[in-house]
C-alpha cells in the first residue's frame, strides 16, 4: 500500500470528483432507469420489452462486425507498408490518414450523403455516361461504408504505431534464419502486431455498434441500436426503455472487449522490447 501524502490526495481530488459526477453518476442513473417504470417503481418490464429489439441488436452487431473486419483487412497491409517507408514518407502518410479526422464526423457523413444519394455526385456522373442510377443511400452497404470511412484511421494508427516499433533487425534476423515473406508475417509480424490489432478492433467496433448518425444519414429506413435509443429518449421520452437499451448495449460492448482481450493472448506485459 503506497502511502499518499495529503498533498497527493488533494491533487487527485478534482479528477475523482469529475469521474464521480460525469462518469459514475450517469451510469447509476442509466441502471436506475433501466429497472424502474415511469412512476419510479422497480420493474423488469423494460428488460423484458427488449425482446422485441432482438433483431435490431443483431443487425447492429452484424453491420459493425462486417465494417470492422473490412477495416482491418484494409488497414493491416496499409499500416505495414507505411511502417517500412522512410521517416519523411511515414509522416506524410500519417498526415493524410489523419486529415479527415480534422473534420467533424457529422460533416464527413453528411458529405457522403451528397455523394451517394439518388441525384448525388456518383449518380450524376453515371447519368452522363448513360448508366442507370444506383440505389446507395438506404442500403446496408452504405451504412457499413460509412462506418469504415469514419473509423478507419482508428484502425490504421494503432496498428501502424505497433508495427513501427518492430525493429528492422528482427525481420532481418528472421530472414537470416530462413524465413521468406509469408513466414516472417506469420511468425513475427502478426504476433507482435496483435496489441495494435486488438486496440484498433475495439476502437472501430465500439463506435460502430453504437452509432445512430451514420445509420440515419446513410441508412434510410435501417434502424440500429443507436437509432432505437435516440428515438426512445428524444422522441418518445421513454427514458426507461431507452436506458434499458443503453444498458444492454454497454454490457455487450464490455463483453466483446473482454473477448478480444482473451483472443489477443497475454498482452499484459510489454512484449515489445
Q: To which residue does cell 534476423 refer?
A: 173
Give the residue, chosen from 69, 94, 122, 174, that forms a contact with other proteins under the rule CB under 8 A. Answer: 174
- Tally: H helices and E strands in the chain: 15, 0
Our finding on whether 175 is near other proteins (CB under 8 A) is yes
Helix (H) or strand (E) holding 48: helix 45-49
Q: How far is the CB of 194 from other proteins (least distance, A)?
A: 9
| Residues in a beta bridge with 42 | 36
The verdict on 89 binding other proteins (CB under 8 A) reads no
Nearest residue to 201 (alpha-carbon basis) of 267, 106, 141: 267
Q: Nearer Cβ to other proteins, position 40 or 181? A: 181
d(CA 177, CA 85): 24
Between 166 and 222, whose beta carbon lies closer to other proteins?
166
| Distance, CA of 232 to CA of 239 (rounded, Å) | 7
- Helix or strand (DSSP H, E) at 252: helix 239-263
Burial of 129 (0-12, 13-18, 19+ CB in 10 A): exposed
Q: By CB under 8 A, is residue 191 in contact with other proteins?
A: yes
Tell me which of 126, 167, 251, 258 binds other proteins, using CB under 8 A: 167
Using CB under 8 A as the binding rule, whether residue 183 contacts other proteins is answered as: yes
Closer of 187 and 262 to other proteins (Cβ): 187
Q: Which of 7, 176, 221, 268 binds other proteins (CB under 8 A)?
A: 176
The piece of 68-76, 80-88, 176-184, 251-259 that touches other proteins (CB under 8 A) is 176-184
Pick from 36, 90, 161, 179 the residue near other proteins by CB under 8 A: 179
Positive or negative, the CA dihedral 229, 230, 236, 240 is positive
Note whether 192 binds other proteins by CB under 8 A: yes
Q: Which residues are near other proteins by CB under 8 A?
A: 167, 169-170, 172-180, 183, 187-188, 191-192, 270-273
Amino acid at each position: 500500500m503506497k502511502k499518499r501524502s495529503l498533498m497527493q490526495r488533494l491533487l487527485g481530488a478534482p479528477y475523482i470528483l469529475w469521474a464521480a459526477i460525469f462518469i459514475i453518476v450517469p451510469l447509476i442513473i442509466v441502471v436506475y432507469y433501466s429497472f424502474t417504470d415511469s412512476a419510479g417503481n422497480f420493474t423488469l418490464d423494460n428488460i423484458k420489452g427488449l425482446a422485441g429489439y432482438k433483431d435490431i441488436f443483431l443487425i447492429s452487431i452484424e453491420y459493425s462486425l462486417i465494417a470492422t473486419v473490412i477495416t482491418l483487412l484494409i488497414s493491416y497491409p496499409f499500416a505495414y507498408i507505411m511502417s517500412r517507408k522512410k521517416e519523411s514518407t511515414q509522416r506524410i502518410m500519417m498526415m493524410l490518414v489523419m486529415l479527415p479526422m480534422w473534420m467533424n464526423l457529422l460533416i464527413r457523413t453528411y458529405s457522403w450523403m451528397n455523394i451517394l444519394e439518388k441525384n448525388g455526385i456518383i449518380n450524376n456522373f453515371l447519368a452522363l455516361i448513360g448508366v442507370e442510377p444506383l440505389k446507395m443511400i438506404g442500403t446496408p452497404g452504405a451504412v457499413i461504408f460509412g462506418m469504415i470511412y469514419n473509423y478507419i484511421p482508428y484502425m490504421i494508427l494503432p496498428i501502424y504505431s505497433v508495427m513501427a516499433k518492430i525493429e528492422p533487425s528482427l525481420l532481418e534476423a528472421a530472414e537470416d534464419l530462413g524465413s521468406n515473406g509469408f513466414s516472417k508475417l506469420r511468425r513475427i509480424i502478426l504476433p507482435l502486431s496483435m496489441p495494435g490489432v486488438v486496440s484498433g478492433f475495439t476502437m472501430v467496433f465500439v463506435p460502430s455498434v453504437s452509432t445512430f448518425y451514420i445509420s440515419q444519414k446513410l441508412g434510410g429506413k435501417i434502424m440500429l441500436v443507436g437509432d432505437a435509443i435516440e428515438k426512445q429518449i428524444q422522441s418518445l421520452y421513454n427514458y426507461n426503455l431507452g436506458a434499458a437499451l443503453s444498458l444492454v448495449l454497454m454490457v455487450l460492448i464490455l463483453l466483446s472487449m473482454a473477448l478480444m482481450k482473451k483472443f489477443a493472448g497475454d498482452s499484459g506485459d510489454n512484449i515489445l522490447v
